[in-house]
Amino acid sequence: MSYFTELAHQYIDGEWRAGSGSWDIIDFNPYNGEKLASITVATVGEVDQAYRAAERAQRAWAATNPYARRLVFERALRLVEDREEEITEAIIAELGGTRTKAAFELHLAKEFLREAMQLALRPEGRLVPSPVDGKENRVYRLPVGVVSVISPFNFPFLLSIKSVAPALALGNAVVLKPHQNTPIVGGGLVAKVFEDAGLPAGLLNVVVTDIAEIGDALIEHPVPKVISFTGSDKVGRHVATVAAAHFKRVVLELGGNSALIVLDDADLDYAVDAAVFSRFVHQGQVCMAANRVLVDRSVEREFTEKFVAKVETLKVGDPADPETHIGPLINSSQTEAIATLVEQTVDAGATALVRGRTEGNLMAPTVLTGLPADSPVLGQEIFGPVVVVVPFDGDEEAVRIANDTPYGLSGAVHTADVERGVRIAQRIESGMVHINDSTVHDEPIVAFGGEKHSGLGRLNGDSMVEAFTTQKWISIQHGRSRFPF
C-alpha cells in the first residue's frame, strides 16, 4: 500500500476521512523536497468528535477482560514485524531517517508493544488496613478514561506508540495528534496498525491539525484527563499551563542538553565511539543527544584528535543509502536556525575544529571548542549535528559544568572506575545517566524522564501505570459504625 496516499486523512471513530479546515498541511520529504501528501486540517469540531468517540468507546473497552485486550497488542506486534520494510521506507521518506535510525526506532517500537501486552495485566488493587474495627479498605486501579497524546517529529512512530499502546492497554481511549512534519509515520500509520490489529472503533483517533486552526482546544477539551506531550520545553510549558488551568494531569517529555563526560582514566577509543553516536544519531535531532562532550584536560588533546578524525568519516547524504550516517534535518527552518547558531558562535570566539557545510536540509557535522564560559550555546539544546567539546580540571568541575544548564534529561560518564562514575552520576541533575555508554537509551521497563526543564513525570514500566490510571478508594463497613451525633 502507499501509506502517503491511503493514510493522508483524519481517523475518527474508526473512519478515514478528510478534515474540514480551510487549509492543508503539506507533507514533504526533507531530503529531496518531494511532496508526499496533502492533508486538510481538522477543525475544533472534529477534535470534539474525536474526543466524544473516544469517550463512548472507552467504557466498554475498560470493562473488557485484560487478556482479551492483550491480544490486540500481540497482533499489532506481528503486523509491525510483517511490515517492517514498508515502515522503514516511510521513516526514510517522511523524516529523513537513515536505515540505521529506522531500525533503531522500529526495534524500540516493537519492545514497547511487547511491554503493552504485560501492562494490560499489570494494574492490581490493594487491601489496606484500617484503624476502624470491621472496616475493609479496597484501593482500585482504574483507567483515567481518555488520554491525549501529542507526539514529535524525530521518532514519530516510536514516540506515538510509546504513549498510545500503554494507555490503550490499561483500558483508556486515546486521541493522538502527530507533529505536522510527520503526520503519516506518527499518526496515520499508528492508527492503521491498530485498526488492522482489531482495536475497536473509537478507541484510537488521529487528528492532523495545528494550533493555528484549533488553538488550545486539544488540551482544554473537557474529555481528556491526561495529556502526554513530547516536544520542546517552550511548547511543553504552554501545555502544562493550559492543562493545569483545567485540572488535567500532564506527562511532559521535553528537551535536553546532555553532557558526555570523559574522565582521565577512560578508554578513549571507546569514549570517542560513544560520543560520536550520542551526538550525531539522527542528525542530532534527539532529546537525549550529547550536546556537550566534557573531557578531562589531561586527555583532551588525544581525545579531541581521535574524536575529530572519527567525525570526519561520517557520510552525509541520501538517508535511503545504507552507507549514510547523517541525513537531512526535518525542514529548512530548522536547518537555517542551526546554521545561524554556528555562525554566531564562531563569530563570538569559538573555534571550529570541524565546520560542516550545508546543502539544502543536509548539514555536515560541526565540532566547536574554545567557547567562552558564558556562551549561551553551552546551556541550550542544539537540535542538529553540532557538538561542543569542553575541557575540565577534575571531577568537581566536570559535575559543575554538566549541571550548568536548565535541562536535565540524560548524560554519560566514561571511566575505568565504575564506582567513581556512579558517584559522579549521582550528582548530575538529570533523570538518566549511563556509565561507559552513550547518552541515548530507552528501555520499556525503566523509568524514563527528565529533571528541570526536561520534563515532568516518567514513562515506561510501572510509571505507565502511574501516568495512565487513577486510584479509587472503596471502603466497606462490616457491622455498624458509631457516629458522634
Helix-then-strand count for the chain, H and E = 16, 24
Distance CA(102)–CA(278), nearest Å, equals 16
Strands 146-150 and 173-177, by their bridges, are parallel
Yes or no: say if 454 and 254 are a contact pair by the CB < 8 Å rule: yes
Q: Select from 434, 428, 436, 435 the least CA-distant residue to 398.
A: 428
Distance CA(219)–CA(221), nearest Å, equals 6
Q: Select from 174, 186, 189 the least CA-distant residue to 468.
A: 174
Q: Which triple of cell numbers denotes residue 403?
A: 549541571
The upper half-sphere exposure of residue 58, i.e. CA atoms within 13 Å in the direction of its Cβ, equals 25
Residue ranges of the alpha helices (H) in 246-298?
A: 268-280
Among 115, 287, 300, 381, which one carries the catalytic annotation? 287
Q: Which triple of cell numbers denotes residue 298?
A: 589531561
Q: How far is CA 35 from CA 190, 235, 361, 379, in A?
A: 21, 27, 15, 36
Yes or no: say if 355 and 365 are a contact pair by the CB < 8 Å rule: no
The upper half-sphere exposure of residue 42, i.e. CA atoms within 13 Å in the direction of its Cβ, equals 28
What residues are paired with 362 via a beta bridge? 328, 359
What are phi and psi for residue 294, nearest 5 degrees? -100, 125
Q: Which triple of cell numbers denotes residue 206?
A: 488521529
What residues are paired with 230 via a beta bridge? 253
Most distant CA pair in the chain: distance in Å? Answer: 83
* Residue 111 among the catalytic residues: no
* Residue 115 among the catalytic residues: no
Yes or no: say if 206 and 21 are a contact pair by the CB < 8 Å rule: no
Among 253, 359, 451, 466, which one carries the catalytic annotation? 253
The three-class DSSP label of residue 226 is strand
DSSP letters spanning 34-85: -EEEEEEPP-HHHHHHHHHHHHHHHHHHHHS-HHHHHHHHHHHHHHHHHTHH
Yes or no: say if 295 and 398 are a contact pair by the CB < 8 Å rule: no
Residue ranges of the alpha helices (H) in 83-98?
A: 84-95
Active-site amino acid positions: 253, 287
